[in-house]
């Protein structure tokens, strides 16, 4: 291992460890100062309930959808797969707005129901949280299952067709192994995402019956200023998150972000399953995912036609700045860690260590930082640097998961050749590694920038009332029922997130020869 890789790698591990452990220490110290609050129980119960149900519903619905996508060749299949990628990049608060436009009290569905004399829908509480989480995670689960199926060699499908396997045997031989591999990790990933999806709980949950742990932390910090209660809740969140992360790690490392899902499968058994049923599944899914997206676009255009909402340009600039700073920090850390992990013989353990550290939800880190900073300075004055730092921690595991396999691939394919030619250090990075991992680097950077741009999380703990990022501005507009303004902000926000992703991803894919 070169000294540069070693120094940077160890430095990055230390940064991550301090970034995570210092806040956790602060939480532990603070939690001691108050008696254990019984009030936390409903929040814990609701968090576990909604996260489990979100995972279960998303995965159960994803199975028929993935199977339909797998075996049918139809016009718009590529578009549909792209559509399934959209919710992952969509800022949660924007998605909530889109869902409200369809399923809310004055949404499209309620309007239709009113014509036949039925009362309006109410999507606040558990129903709404589940709806939003399924909207986000059904596409994610579907893509994970599709990736699993794509790993089956086409020879196996041909063999099954030749042998004219009965449906049950076919299921047992071909589909079951894929599901056994993909379903547990899909369940756990969605459980973790749903557990720490603060913006959804903030916008659609609330009240004693539908409050998540993170929401309770937010209330304890912002409204009651009860640091001990916040710290206790954060520790609970941390423990649940760590357990889920450890299980996810155990159940497989199959989680890939992105990757081509282009070609449909060669499939000779599709006649056994009624065509119309697959069609119904596909159309329902397209409508379920597509309608809120369309609503965001239409309402956003209408909202912007009324003029630019007050405060939007400044909030946009702040969000962009935070996104770029956090992405830079995350990229530097991810590169240092990825190189170190790839070169180290104990790479897997180091990766596990960093991923587990980072499984602490950003909200937990934010709470700890709040408690840490509170005695020395006003946490509110440090809102932006802290948001950028926590967003970087949020993106780091995703980036690491994308960059490390790319590095390993380069080393496996060209390591021997490069060593034989004496390519080392900077020359090797410039001439071999960088051009080879550019696509993954661009993709990972684009994801990090888009996620940070759209994030509505720790900023809510820290932001003073006169300062806001674009998602926070949007949330505040929704809170004061300025829905046109919120719709306009949502469109700008989602366009900016997608543009950031597109610019970085494209920059990575455009071939540059050294």
Partner 1 sequence: MLELDNLRITQDDFSLTADMVVPQGATTAILGPSGGGKSTFLLALAGFVPTTGSLRWQGRDISAHLPAERPVSMLFQEHNLFPHLSIAPNVGLGLRADLNLTKAEKTAVEAALKRVGLGGRGADLPRQLSGGERQRVALARALLRNKPLWLLDEPFAALGPALRRDMLTLLEEIRAEQQATVLLVTHAPDDARAIAQNCVFVDNGRATPPVETETFFRQPTPAFKAYLGV
Minimum CB distance to partner 1, residue 258 (Å): 20
Residue 210 pairs with which residues in a beta bridge? 206
Secondary structure of residue 407 in the 3-state scheme: helix
Q: Which stretch binds partner 1 (CB under 8 A): 15-23, 136-144, 416-424, 496-504?
A: 416-424
Q: Which stretch binds partner 1 (CB under 8 A): 274-282, 318-326, 348-356, 424-432?
A: 424-432
Minimum CB distance to partner 1, residue 436 (Å): 6
Minimum CB distance to partner 1, residue 424 (Å): 7
Q: Which of 424, 464, 506, 510 binds partner 1 (CB under 8 A)?
A: 424
Q: How far apart are CA 151 and CA 142, in angstroms?
A: 14
Asked if 431 is part of the footprint of partner 1 (rule: CB under 8 A), the reply reads yes
Q: Which of 209, 349, 426, 506 binds partner 1 (CB under 8 A)?
A: 426
Check the CA dihedral 263-397-232-221 and report its sign: negative
Q: How far apart are CA 461 and CA 458, in angstroms?
A: 5
Question: Which of residues 172 and 416 has its CB atom nearest to partner 1 in the complex?
Answer: 416
50 and 198 in contact (C-beta within 8 Å)?
no
Asked if 376 is part of the footprint of partner 1 (rule: CB under 8 A), the reply reads no
Q: How far apart are CA 378 and CA 370, in angstroms?
A: 9
Check the CA dihedral 504-508-510-513 and report its sign: positive
Nearest of 486, 479, 447, 451 to residue 465 by alpha carbon: 479
Straight-line distance from the first to the last Cα atom of the chain, in angstroms, rounded to the nearest whole number: 24
Q: Which stretch binds partner 1 (CB under 8 A): 141-149, 158-166, 337-345, 432-440?
A: 432-440
Asked if 435 is part of the footprint of partner 1 (rule: CB under 8 A), the reply reads yes
383-420 helix and 434-454 helix, angle to the nearest 10 degrees: 170
326 and 389 in contact (C-beta within 8 Å)?
yes
Alpha-carbon 429 to chain mean position: 30
Minimum CB distance to partner 1, residue 338 (Å): 19
Question: Which of residues 95 and 407 has its CB atom nearest to partner 1 in the complex?
Answer: 407
Helices then strands, counting H and E runs in the chain, come out as 22, 0
Nearest of 8, 20, 49, 58 to residue 353 by alpha carbon: 20
Considering only residues 492-511, where is the footprint of partner 1 by CB under 8 A? Answer: 511
What string marks each residue from 396 to 415 as x (binds partner 1 by CB under 8 A) or -?
Answer: -----------------xx-
Minimum CB distance to partner 1, residue 409 (Å): 12
Q: Which helix (H) or strand (E) holds 324?
A: helix 312-343
Minimum CB distance to partner 1, residue 514 (Å): 6
Q: Which of 129, 190, 231, 423 binds partner 1 (CB under 8 A)?
A: 423
Minimum CB distance to partner 1, residue 423 (Å): 4
Minimum CB distance to partner 1, residue 275 (Å): 40
Residues that bind partner 1 (CB under 8 A): 413-414, 416-417, 419-424, 426-428, 430-432, 435-436, 511, 513-514
């Amino acid at each position: 291992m070169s000294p540069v890789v070693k120094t940077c790698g160890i430095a990055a591990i230390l940064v991550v460890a301090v970034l995570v452990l210092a806040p956790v220490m602060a939480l532990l110290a603070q939690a001691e100062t108050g008696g254990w609050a019984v009030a936390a129980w409903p929040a814990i119960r609701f968090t576990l309930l909604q996260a489990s149900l979100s995972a279960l519903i998303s995965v159960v619905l994803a199975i028929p959808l993935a199977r339909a996508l797998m075996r049918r060749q139809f016009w718009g299949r590529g578009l549909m797969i792209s559509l399934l990628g959209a919710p992952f990049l969509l800022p949660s608060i924007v998605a909530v707005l889109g869902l409200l436009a369809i399923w809310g009290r004055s949404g499209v569905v309620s309007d239709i129901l009113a014509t036949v004399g039925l009362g309006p829908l109410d999507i606040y509480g558990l129903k709404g949280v589940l709806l939003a989480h399924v909207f986000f995670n059904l596409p994610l689960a579907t893509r994970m299952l599709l990736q699993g199926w794509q790993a089956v060699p086409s020879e196996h499908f041909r063999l099954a067709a030749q042998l004219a396997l009965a449906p049950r045997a076919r299921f047992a031989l071909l589909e079951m192994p894929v599901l056994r591999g993909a379903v547990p990790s899909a369940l756990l990933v969605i459980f973790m995402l749903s557990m720490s999806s603060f913006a959804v709980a903030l916008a659609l949950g609330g009240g004693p019956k539908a409050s998540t742990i993170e929401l309770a932390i937010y209330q304890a910090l912002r409204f009651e200023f009860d640091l001990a209660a916040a710290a206790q809740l954060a520790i609970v969140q941390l423990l649940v998150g760590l357990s889920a992360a450890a299980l996810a790690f155990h159940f497989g490392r199959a989680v890939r972000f992105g990757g081509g899902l282009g070609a449909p499968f060669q499939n000779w058994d599709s006649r056994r399953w009624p065509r119309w049923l697959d069609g119904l599944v596909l159309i329902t899914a397209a409508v379920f995912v597509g309608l809120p997206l369309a609503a965001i676009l239409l309402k956003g255009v209408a909202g912007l036609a009324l003029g630019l909402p007050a405060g939007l340009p400044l909030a946009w600039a702040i969000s962009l700045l935070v996104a770029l700073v956090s992405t830079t920090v995350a990229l530097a850390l991810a590169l240092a860690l990825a190189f170190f992990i790839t070169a180290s013989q104990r790479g897997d353990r180091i990766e596990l260590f960093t991923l587990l550290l980072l499984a602490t939800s950003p909200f937990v880190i934010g709470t700890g930082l709040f408690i840490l900073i509170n005695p020395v300075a006003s946490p509110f004055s440090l809102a932006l640097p802290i948001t950028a730092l926590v967003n970087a921690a949020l993106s780091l595991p995703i980036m690491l998961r994308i960059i490390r396999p790319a590095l390993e691939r380069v080393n496996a394919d060209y390591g021997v050749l490069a060593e034989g030619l004496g390519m080392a250090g900077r020359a090797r990075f410039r001439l071999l590694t960088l051009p080879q991992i550019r696509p993954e680097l661009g993709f990972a950077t684009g994801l990090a920038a888009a996620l940070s741009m759209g994030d509505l999380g720790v900023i809510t703990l820290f932001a003073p009332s006169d300062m806001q990022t674009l998602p926070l501005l949007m949330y505040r507009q929704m809170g004061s029922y300025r829905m046109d303004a919120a719709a306009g902000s949502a469109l700008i926000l989602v366009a900016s997130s997608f543009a950031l992703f597109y610019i970085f991803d494209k920059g990575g894919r455009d071939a540059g020869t050294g």
